[in-house]
Every structure is written in structure tokens, then in C-alpha cells.
Amino acid sequence: MNTTTLDHQAKSRGRGRPREFDAEAALDAALRVFSERGYNAASISELTDAMGLASGSVYKAFGDKRGIFLAAFDRYRAVRRGLLDARLAEVETGRDKLHALITFFASSSHGQIGRQGCLVVGSAGDLALFDEDAAERVATAFTTDEALLADLIRLGQSDGSISANLDVSGVALALLCLTKGMRVIGKTGRSGEQMAAAAEAAMKLVT
């Protein structure tokens, strides 16, 4: 469910009345709860409090806790991808773009945002095992990120910034594991310096 669909449903359920809350801001608040607490531990009262909404408004717009989660997941992916695309657009070579991607994950793996964690990584073990829609979203997220890594490696090979002899599939998968693992480690209170060092070490895979 994307934000456009969400807005449409909220309006339809309100019989044409304007939305009484900012859906994107509400979902941003909800995803913070899910990222920090996990799906199972997050209560509906915690979610409504964070979203600043009455339970009736939440149920009317999203249906239930699962509906909130799926909408928040889609919102999270869209926002994160937009931020990453902006970072990638700042550099030209495949190697520099790959470095920008890895440091993007490293910078999200320390401090407050690091302790908050990654909704995608958390969902892989928290919800995807027993919810088909969540499992599909998690699988798509991982596949999309792995494909992007492979594309950047190939770009680097074509522009000469990455060795043409590199095993694209193997290195892309290794970097996927590293970047997702960064988000797990980030919940343990690592410093920015440590995560930056990890990012530089990861770049050795494309040396």
C-alpha cells in the first residue's frame, strides 16, 4: 500500500471529507515505534500515542496494527530510497557511487538513528516468517538493494573505476550482507568512527 492509496482510502472512508491528520507524519512516527520495539512488542496504544491520533482515527485509516505496519514499511522504503538516490547523484563513477551507498548505511548505523534500527532488517525476523505480505516486502527490499549494488559494480567496471575481473554477483551479495549487518550492529551503540572504518574496510572488496 503506497501513500497515494492510503490517502485515497482515508478520504473514501471519510465520505469525501478532508483528512484530519498528516498521514506521512503519522507513519513516520509509527515506523519509529516499530523500528525500536519490533512488530510484536509494539502495542497499539504505543502506536496511537506516537502518531498523535485517537485509536478510532487509526483504525479508520489503517485498519489494524498490521495495516499500520505495512503502510509504514512502504513509507520507510520510499523515504530511504529517495535519500540514497540523492546521495548517489552527487558522484559520478561506479566506485564512488558504491562508496556513497556503503557510507549511507554506515552513517545510519550509529547514534540515535543507529539505535532505532532498520525496519526492513527488523521485519525479516520479526514478522516476515508468518505474514505473507510482509515477507514479500522484505524479499523485494533485499532483492532491490542487491540489484542496485550489482548495477553500481557493473557501472564501475564499465567506467574503469572497478576491476573488470570482479565477481559481480558474489561481491554484491557480500555487500548486501555487510550493509544490512551494519544496521544490526548500529543498535548496539557503535560510534560513527567505527562504522566509517567498517565502510572503508567493505570497499576493499572492490579493490
- Tell me how far CA of residue 122 lies from CA of 7, 84, 108, 200, in angstroms: 26, 20, 14, 25
Domain CATH number, residue 69? 1.10.10.60
Q: How confident is the model over 81-126, as pLDDT tens digits?
A: 999 999 999 999 999 999 999 999 999 999 988 988 888 888 877 7
Mean pLDDT, the chain, rounded, equals: 88
- Local confidence band at 128 (pLDDT 50, 70, 90 cut-offs): low
Does a structural domain hold residue 7?
Answer: no
Q: Is 147 found in the same domain as 60?
A: no
User: Nearest Cα to 5, choosing from 60, 71, 69, 66?
Assistant: 71
Domain CATH number, residue 138? 1.10.357.10
Angle at which helices 132-159 and 119-126 pack, to 10 degrees?
130
The per-residue b/e assignment along 124-153, b for 16 or more CB within 10 angstroms, e otherwise, is bebbbeebeebeebbeebbeebbebbbebb
Q: Which of 48, 75, 102 is the last residue of a domain?
A: 75
Instruction: Give the domain range for residue 57.
Output: 21-75
Q: Is 116 found in the same domain as 26?
A: no
Does a structural domain hold residue 2?
Answer: no
The answer to whether residues 114 and 191 touch, using CB atoms and an 8 Å cutoff, is: no
Q: Is 111 found in the same domain as 37?
A: no
Does a structural domain hold residue 81?
Answer: no
Q: Report how many domains make up the chain.
A: 2
- Local confidence band at 197 (pLDDT 50, 70, 90 cut-offs): very high
Q: Is 52 found in the same domain as 133?
A: no
Main-chain phi, psi angles of 40, to 5 degrees: -65, -40
Could you please report the per-residue DSSP string of 67-115? HHHHHHHHHHHHHHHHHHHHHHTT--SHHHHHHHHHHHHHHTSSHHHHH
Amino acid, res. 129: L
**What is the residue whose three cell numbers read 538493494?**
145
Query: Would the pLDDT of 153 be above 50?
Result: yes
